[in-house]
Structure 1
């Protein structure tokens, strides 16, 4: 199957049958492999040039949504843009994030049971590493503080729950830790 030129697939994963990636000119595309279709996403706004997008899926309503944020170090915001794929009115909406933060430049996201998770930093003097959660159905953001001060591991889905695999801790003499989110509402 031919695909659009200059595609980049960093950390792309399937989210309920769709894959989202970008081209070298920062155009974002969703791909439905079973339908053999590529759909170019519209830009969320004229001033939104360097952006980061995440793909989520709401299993209750059966809808895919794209979350868009400005990208870059210390490019934070209290708002993001959200696009519901396949809807009759396919336009970007503005959603308040509740926490001024910015996504890590090279970060990726995991969508688990209707919640989208991605690595971020708070926009304050602490530069604390956090994981932001976005409930795809309600479009509400929340913040999960990591038990560590850095983000050198990776987020994975383990037994249907968000987990953080810390495999790069020089203080552990090559050890490995797996942190599992037990309760997504209480963040423990």
Structure 2
């Protein structure tokens, strides 16, 4: 066995970074020094930086139609194999939890491959990469009208945070309405904390699509919102996890009114918008993806591509995520069932049918990231609340 004492630290770190996750977990038993190194925040963050784009993979969450339980799969493309049902392209991920109230958990979202789920006030962080989860303490803010939730990564402190934006009244559109209360859970601190973030919440702005997940990027989380002031238009509301301040990002050319169906997302590492076009207020007929080329610069919004769903011959559909080769994962809703398929926006053609049926409305996709967060914690630890 190699003695840590005779191996330079930098060399050891480089060797460990190149090992599979299973090996890293096993090598924690080599010595206290190795365990301390592998579970240190510096090593975990360095490992995350090196593996932030782990091939061309998406984690897909969906509700199994037959058994009415949620499932997770790892999906990736194999250019040398055209068999869409191949195990090399779709891999089952073991989900260690079962919701006690319903058939499935409500999904807050994900950040760097770390998932946040909840049922009522029970919040869970789950890292499928290392097969570990923890249960958070109950939030301290209760008895509110409605809460909007998000999970993100604070770049300033290298910390994962869960955000609860709690509205205190029904009519938040009126001038002078109470600002929401903002509560943040910090993984490093292991507790919830009520912040002063609500003081910066802009007047007459309401978050829309409570069931849609907020995008996480550049140390902030992003919600689509409605501006009920003079502008009367859709807008993006961000919450910075570092300074805990709300900010507004205008949409491209002010083209999107209050009735626009927009979701925030991340496309190739850039803040993006998935904009749906409907016909007769019912089925989706087209979708355009806009990307902010220069972060924070409104004039840099660029339409990346448009998908014409009439060409896919489906009743309704939804964009779930993007692979690194720009292929789009689409949920295709048909009269006889809902399927997942891959779509190439360049050729405007369906690439592959992924071959399994799901239940509509509950699906979600996120890029797979090799992440060691929670490695130093035993499963299902209930941390303390301040």
TM-score range, shorter chain: 0.7 to 0.9
**Aligned pairs for 1:46-65 within 5 A:** 46-48=142-144, 50-65=146-161
Corresponding residue for 2:126?
Answer: 32
* Cα deviation, residue 161, structure 1: 0.9
* Whole-angstrom distance in 2 between the partners of 1:107 and 1:11: 9
* Cα deviation, residue 116, structure 1: 0.8
Q: TM-score of the superposition, structure 1-length normalised?
A: 0.78
* Cα deviation, residue 58, structure 1: 1.5
Corresponding residue for 2:292?
Answer: 181
Corresponding residue for 2:101?
Answer: 6
Say which structure is richer in helix.
2
CA RMSD of superposed structures (Å): 3.0
* Cα deviation, residue 18, structure 1: 2.2
Number of residue equivalences: 185
Corresponding residue for 2:25?
Answer: none
Q: Which moved more, 1:93-102 or 1:43-52?
A: 43-52
Q: Is the 8 A contact 2:237 2:249 kept in 1?
A: yes
* Cα deviation, residue 126, structure 1: 5.7
| Alignment deviations for residues 99-143 of structure 1 (CA, whole Å, 9 cap, x no partner) | 132221333201012221111123547653211012222222111
| Alignment deviations for residues 33-75 of structure 1 (CA, whole Å, 9 cap, x no partner) | 3352231342232433632211111234211122212258644
Aligned: 1:97 with 2:207: no
CA 1:59/1:84 → structure 2, altered by over 3 Å: closer, same or farther? same
Secondary structure of the 2:202 match is strand
Say which structure is richer in strand.
1
CA 1:42/1:49 → structure 2, altered by over 3 Å: closer, same or farther? farther
* Cα deviation, residue 152, structure 1: 1.2
| Alignment deviations for residues 1-27 of structure 1 (CA, whole Å, 9 cap, x no partner) | 23341354456542123212221xx22
Corresponding residue for 1:18?
Answer: 114
| Aligned with residue 165 of structure 1, among 254, 274, 280 | 274
Secondary structure of the 2:125 match is strand
Q: Is the 8 A contact 2:152 2:160 kept in 1?
A: yes
CA 1:156/1:55 → structure 2, altered by over 3 Å: closer, same or farther? same
* Whole-angstrom distance in 1 between the partners of 2:179 and 2:288: 32
Q: Is the 8 A contact 1:27 1:40 kept in 2?
A: no
* Whole-angstrom distance in 1 between the partners of 2:274 and 2:194: 33
Q: Is the 8 A contact 2:235 2:249 kept in 1?
A: yes
* Whole-angstrom distance in 2 between the partners of 1:167 and 1:11: 22
CA 1:79/1:167 → structure 2, altered by over 3 Å: closer, same or farther? closer
Q: TM-score of the superposition, structure 2-length normalised?
A: 0.42
| Aligned with residue 140 of structure 1, among 215, 220, 245 | 245
CA 1:73/1:124 → structure 2, altered by over 3 Å: closer, same or farther? farther
* Whole-angstrom distance in 2 between the partners of 1:46 and 1:2: 25
Structure 1 unaligned blocks of 5 or more: none
Structure 2 unaligned blocks of 5 or more: 1-95, 300-386
CA 1:35/1:117 → structure 2, altered by over 3 Å: closer, same or farther? same
